[in-house]
Structures are given as structure tokens and as C-alpha cells.
């Protein structure tokens, strides 16, 4: 009983020093060793109105809203270069491409900051996770989908060039 009481007092003393922005229950529980998940997420912003269509305009959400004018579903729906469009296109690609549904995964040799793998017989995925442009592999095929949407449908014959922090899905011939 004494140990439980002492633990409760210790928890209260630690919680008294937790910054008010830490509201995630896991962040509160493990403060100061872990601040929680709040820094990596925000409410879904549906439109550019006050509250983002997520909360009433007079309500302050637990997590802060981002730039309402630029980051909301309504404005990204019709933007072919938006993250929303890219995410929807990736989901559609997976639904319609058997290699991505059940093809065998195989890591491919790549530089330190490049992650490359194949799925199934014809699909190759390459990600450049660096601040520098990279060239990878020897591919004969077509870019099916790229984070730089201007490259969708581009023919590949040789090394793939990827801009910093770019990724693509390619179809090998």
C-alpha cells in the first residue's frame, strides 16, 4: 500500500512539470522520456474555414491545426500535384496491380540512402532518402507513378535518376 501511495505521489510530482502542450496520455505517462505522439500528427483539416471543418470555429482542438489555406482536403481534391492525389493514386495502383498485392518482396542492391526493392515479376520501387540526386540500377521499362508526377509514364532505359527525397514505382519490361 505504501509503495502504491509513494508511486502516485511521484507521478503527481512529475506530471506537475509536464509542459501544457503534452496532452497525449502516453506522453503524460512517460514524461520526460517520451513526449508522446502529438508532435507527429494534427487533426484532419477538411476545408479552409476556421476550425478546418474538424472542429467548431470557437473550439480549440487538442492538437494544433496547420496552414488551413494550403493543407486541407477541399483544396487538394482538384490539385493533381497534391499529397492527397498522390496517396489516392498509390492506393489505386496497389488495388489494380497484382505484383503490389501479393508479389514476392526482394530487396535490391542500392546506395546507402537509396531503398530499392522489387515486388513480383515486373514491379520495382525506388526511394531516394537523401538531399542529393541519385542514379540507381539498370532498368528497362516505364515509370508508372512518381512523386514528381511529370515523370509518370516516362520510359526508362538504363540508370534511374531520382531527385532528392523522390520515389517511384516502375514497370520492368
Taking only the tens place, the pLDDT of each residue in 98-116 is 999 999 999 999 999 999 9
Residue 79 within any structural domain of the chain: no
Residue 82 within any structural domain of the chain: no
Examine residue 32 and say whether the peptide bond preceding it is cis (omega within 30 degrees of 0): yes
Burial of 170 (0-12, 13-18, 19+ CB in 10 A): buried
Q: Strands 167-172 and 123-128, how do they pair?
A: antiparallel
Residue 162 within any structural domain of the chain: yes
Assign residue 130 the CATH number of its domain.
2.60.40.1180
- Measure CA of the first residue to CA of the last residue in the chain; give whole Å: 70
Residue 48 within any structural domain of the chain: no
pLDDT (tens digit, 9 = 90+) per residue, 20-46?
A: 667 777 777 777 777 777 666 777 889
Q: Which residue has the cell 539498370?
A: 138
Residues 99, 105, 110, 116, CA torsion sign:
positive
User: Could you tell me the three cell numbers for 168?
Assistant: 517511384
> Is residue 145 within 8 Å of 90, Cβ to Cβ?
yes
How many domains does one find in the chain? 2
Structural domain including 4 reads 1-41
Amino acid at each position: 500500500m505504501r509503495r502504491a501511495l509513494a508511486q502516485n505521489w511521484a507521478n503527481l510530482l512529475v506530471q506537475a512539470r509536464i509542459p501544457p502542450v503534452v496532452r497525449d496520455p502516453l506522453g503524460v505517462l512517460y514524461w520526460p522520456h517520451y513526449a508522446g505522439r502529438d508532435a507527429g500528427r494534427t487533426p484532419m483539416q477538411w476545408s479552409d474555414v476556421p476550425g478546418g471543418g474538424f472542429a467548431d470555429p470557437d473550439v480549440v482542438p487538442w492538437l494544433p491545426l496547420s496552414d488551413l489555406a494550403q493543407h486541407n482536403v477541399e483544396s487538394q481534391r482538384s490539385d493533381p500535384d497534391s499529397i492527397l492525389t498522390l496517396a489516392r493514386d498509390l492506393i489505386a495502383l496497389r488495388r489494380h496491380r497484382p505484383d503490389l498485392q501479393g508479389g514476392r518482396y526482394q530487396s535490391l542492391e542500392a546506395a546507402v540512402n537509396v531503398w530499392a526493392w522489387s515486388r513480383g515479376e515486373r514491379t520495382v520501387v525506388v526511394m531516394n532518402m537523401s538531399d542529393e540526386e541519385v542514379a540507381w540500377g539498370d532498368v528497362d521499362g516505364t515509370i508508372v507513378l512518381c512523386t514528381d508526377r511529370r515523370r509518370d509514364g516516362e520510359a526508362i532505359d538504363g540508370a534511374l535518376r531520382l531527385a532528392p527525397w523522390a520515389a517511384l514505382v516502375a514497370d520492368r519490361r
